[in-house]
Structure 1
Amino acid sequence: MTPFNLSATLNALRILKSPTLLHPQLTIPTFDHLPIPLSTALKADIRAVILDKDNCFAVPYVKEVYPAYKDTFEKLRKEYGDRLLIVSNSAGTDDDGGHLEADILEKDTRVKVLRHSTKKPGCYPEIMSYLTSKTDVTRADQVAIVGDRLFTDVLMANMMGSWAVWVKTGVVDSERTFYGRVERGLLGVIKWGGGKAPVPIGGVWRG
């Protein structure tokens, strides 16, 4: 059973006021279509990349990169180094007892897994606090968020003023799930109504 995500439930209410928060700036079919470097595709100064884990580059709750995506993952790791950060709503959260899953995932991927007390989409202050202290990131619009969920990854990116890269089809096709159908249906309505993705504009982070 998927643990309850209070952060997603509360922040989803923002969509009632600003539905375009669900609209990504870039959509890719699957993770292996991710353009590297992202600065070229987004035409922006992307200094750090945040990766969702479950169903983005890994099978949900499996602590290793999906075999078909290993080449892309390695290219991404070499391009961004310590400016690549995994932010999961499983590994690294308070649900991850002793952060054992995060430790295993870091060992397998050689990428830092953020330890965070609030789940996505509400953990962006923790993300920015880490990036501004450990990397050359000074603004939220220097960050790209890559993930398969509109209500967590894309919503968080737009809330924090970053770039949202939506992986339309995850390792397991989310269109077959109830939540996936709801998310895609809402995005379709937003696009039908003429909604556009927000333009990431962020000043120097003061969080």
Structure 2
Amino acid sequence: MVQNFNFSGILNAFRLIASPSLAMPHIIVNDIREIPMESLKKHGIKAMAYDKDNCLTAPYVSTIHPPFKESWDRCKEAFGQDKVVIVSNSAGTLDDKDGKEAQALEQSLGVHVLRHTQKKPSGGDALTKHLQIPHGQIAFVGDRVLTDVMYGNLNGNLTIWTKQVITEKGDNKPAILIRRMEHQLIKMLHHLDIKPSPHPFYTNKSKD
């Protein structure tokens, strides 16, 4: 299912002018296999939320990217299936007629797909309400800066950016172009020494 145009993403991008830290992830990994699950749990993270395309699966594919299966299963075991959620800008949104794609994903990936009306980076309250966990105890994982990272930062989550794209094959052209721009944005923010938004994870970790 191809996503409709994301006006929220465009409008929220302008917020970076005033608050560039909204685009900076707290943790950068190549892919989900490098996420330090035990460290996250040790320092107070109680739930994990993920984008889908090019984070867990190839674009518009409903099955986990095969090399990620072991890590995905480990995440569900570590946090519990009810505390692992997928937040997509296609499945579970108003674009997903009758929620059919969300249901297919739930059967395939074994976790809940959030139903939400506002596309990322807006609408973070829906995730917090679903999990019934304080926003600071939720980690959000995604491959997109202007949607996933901003969504998590606006919602007060710990943000994890997966910088390695699974594949551009089958992805829509605007997403490919914007993602490449986002990679350049992260490089620029690093050069300017922009730090991510404060999060208790770092305070707790520094006490070890």
TM-score by length of 2: 0.87
Structure 1 residue 66: deviation in Å?
0.9
Determine the structure 2 residue equivalent to 1:49. 48
Q: What does residue range 135-174 of structure 1 map to in structure 2 within 5 Å?
A: 137=133, 139-172=134-167
Within 2, Cα distance between the matches of 1:31 and 1:45? Answer: 19
- 2:3–2:95 contact (8 Å) kept in structure 1: no
Say whether 1:21 aligns with 2:22.
Answer: yes
Counterpart residue identity of residue 152, structure 1 = T
Determine the structure 1 residue equivalent to 2:33. 32
Structure 1 residue 200: deviation in Å?
2.1
Unpaired stretches in structure 1, ≥5 consecutive residues: 202-207
- Tell me how large the CA RMSD over aligned residues is: 1.7
Structure 1 residue 149: deviation in Å?
0.4
Determine the structure 2 residue equivalent to 1:204. none
Counterpart residue identity of residue 140, structure 2 = I
SS of 1:104 mapped into structure 2: helix
Structure 1 residue 33: deviation in Å?
1.8
Structure 1 residue 177: deviation in Å?
2.8
- 1:145–1:164 contact (8 Å) kept in structure 2: yes
SS of 1:166 mapped into structure 2: strand
Say whether 1:114 aligns with 2:109.
Answer: no
Within 1, Cα distance between the matches of 2:128 and 2:52? Answer: 18
- 1:158–1:200 contact (8 Å) kept in structure 2: no
Structure 1 residue 170: deviation in Å?
2.3
Determine the structure 2 residue equivalent to 1:8. 9
Determine the structure 1 residue equivalent to 2:179. 180
Residues 76-101 of structure 1, C-alpha deviations (whole Å, 9 max, x = no match): 11111111111111111110111100
- 1:31–1:170 contact (8 Å) kept in structure 2: no
- 2:3–2:90 contact (8 Å) kept in structure 1: no
Within 1, Cα distance between the matches of 2:11 and 2:182? Answer: 16
Q: What does residue range 56-75 of structure 1 map to in structure 2 within 5 Å?
A: 56-75=55-74
Q: Which moved more, 1:30-39 or 1:155-164?
A: 30-39
What is the total number of aligned residue pairs between the two structures?
193
- 1:44–1:142 contact (8 Å) kept in structure 2: no
Unpaired stretches in structure 2, ≥5 consecutive residues: 201-208
Off by >4 Å, runs of 4+ in structure 1: none
The 3 A distance-change label for structure 1 pair 38 and 96 is farther
Counterpart residue identity of residue 100, structure 1 = K
Within 2, Cα distance between the matches of 1:109 and 1:8? Answer: 26
Within 1, Cα distance between the matches of 2:76 and 2:123? Answer: 22
Determine the structure 2 residue equivalent to 1:205. none
Counterpart residue identity of residue 48, structure 1 = A
